Structure 1
Amino acid sequence: MDQLKRSLLDAPIIEKNGYHYFVHPISDGVPMLEPELLREIVIRIIRKADLEDVDKIVTPAAMGIHISTAVSLMTDIPLVVIRKRQYGLDGEVALFQETGYSESEMYINDVYEGDRVLVLDDVLSTGGTLKAILGSLEDIGADVVDLVAVIKKVGGENALEDAAYDAKTLINVDVVDEEVVIVDENGDD
């Protein structure tokens, strides 16, 4: 059994405001992230993503950073982190993101019209964060070459279902009776 599947099946489930979600090193930073799990994920992303002619990897803070940093190191593609803090730099673009359990402002720097980007994130659940990011990238005039989330949590409303972008995922899961259930071991293409 691969590391990602095993780690998800062993993930604890917690409830927050009626929303059940798994606690996982990729999405939460706990429990400890083993190097072999991160390595497996990076290799699978590199194999699945369309990386040809990508200028930048774009990821939201905070849990996309470790994955995107590792992919950047392996591909030599620069990394842009969408931050939750405003810096006021020239060209900074604000976006409002809303998920199933939070909402906040985020800020994009260093992405410009004509940039060809790979959007990379840890988990696709409600799609709220990615929808906001994709809308802002579109407003900037960036070309989203590909969109990859490591884990997709199925079963709820997904704001990306009607979007013009198809998210690729490495594995799709659901939470049923307080357990993680693997829905698709290979994710979406």
Structure 2
Amino acid sequence: MPRATDDFRDRIRTVPDWPQAGIQFRDITPLLQDADTFQRLIDCFVQRYLAQHIDLVAGIDARGFILGAALAYALRRGFVPIRKKGKLPFQTIAEDYALEYGAATIELHIDAVAPGQRVLLVDDLVATGGTLLAAARLIRRLGGEVVEAAAIVDLPELGGSAAVAGEGITLFTLCQFDGH
């Protein structure tokens, strides 16, 4: 019988040359389309975090919203969206970061995290680690503590998991892929 993480990995679709040539995009939507698979996916994260003291789950725009909101609901914790620049309606703080294929800015409402709150940071995938690290800096600037970062996929050859660990943040992922 295959492990759950093997089943998740087998269901992730690779889209070559998207959003640009040379990128092998790891598409998690097949995991989300099947209700049983999606539930098992969230349950894997719930099992890891149920006994930990977490105040908030922060999800990164956009697929981190899907995982983060479902996980926050299952853990009975609040959810905080970390959005692309210009998408949040209230006062924000911003952080620039480098992507595998460009640069971007993310924002967080200034009242999203209270000093001392323990935050679980969630995204779908870790490539270069730039998005996770920028999100962690936002949380820390508001006085929050990043308990851990979690994602479905790690692309270790792109150096993101090492960069996240280098900032003192534990990273939990369910599967990894070699290459870009």
TM-score normalised by length of structure 1: 0.79
Gaps of 5+ in 1: 177-189
- Say if 1:161 and 1:61 are closer, same or farther in 2 by CA, change over 3 A: same
Q: Which residue of 1 aligns with 2:178?
A: 174
Distance 1:50 1:134 in 2: 21
Query: 1:67: Cα distance to partner?
Result: 1.0
Query: 1:79: Cα distance to partner?
Result: 0.4
Deviates more, 1:11-20 or 1:36-45: 11-20
Query: 1:46: Cα distance to partner?
Result: 1.1
CA RMSD of aligned residues (A): 2.3
Q: Aligned pair 1:104/2:108, yes or no?
A: no
Q: Which residue of 1 aligns with 2:138?
A: 136
Distance 1:167 1:102 in 2: 23
Q: Which residue of 1 aligns with 2:9?
A: 8
* 2:141 partner letter: D
Distance 1:122 1:87 in 2: 20
Q: Residue by residue, what CA displacement relative to the aligned partner does 1:35-61 show, whole Å, maximum 9, x if unpaired?
A: 112111111101123653311101111
Distance 1:23 1:63 in 2: 10
Distance 1:173 1:155 in 2: 9
- Say if 1:6 and 1:157 are closer, same or farther in 2 by CA, change over 3 A: same
Q: Which residue of 2 aligns with 1:65?
A: 65
Alignment of 1:7-156 (within 5 A): 7-10=8-11, 11-15=13-17, 16-25=20-29, 33-49=33-49, 52-84=52-84, 85-87=86-88, 89-90=90-91, 92-109=92-109, 110-156=112-158
Q: Residue by residue, what CA displacement relative to the aligned partner does 1:53-77 show, whole Å, maximum 9, x if unpaired?
A: 3111011111111111211221110
Q: Which has the higher helix share?
A: 2
Distance 2:52 2:8 in 1: 30
- Paired residue total: 171
Query: 1:88: Cα distance to partner?
Result: 5.6
Determine what percentage of the aligned residue pairs are the same residue.
19
1:17–1:101 contact (8 Å) kept in structure 2: no
- Say if 1:64 and 1:87 are closer, same or farther in 2 by CA, change over 3 A: closer
- Say if 1:142 and 1:32 are closer, same or farther in 2 by CA, change over 3 A: closer
Gaps of 5+ in 2: none
Tell me: higher relative CO, structure 1 or 2? Use CA pairs within 8 A at least 6 residues apart.
1
Q: Which residue of 1 aligns with 2:169?
A: 165
TM-score normalised by length of structure 2: 0.82
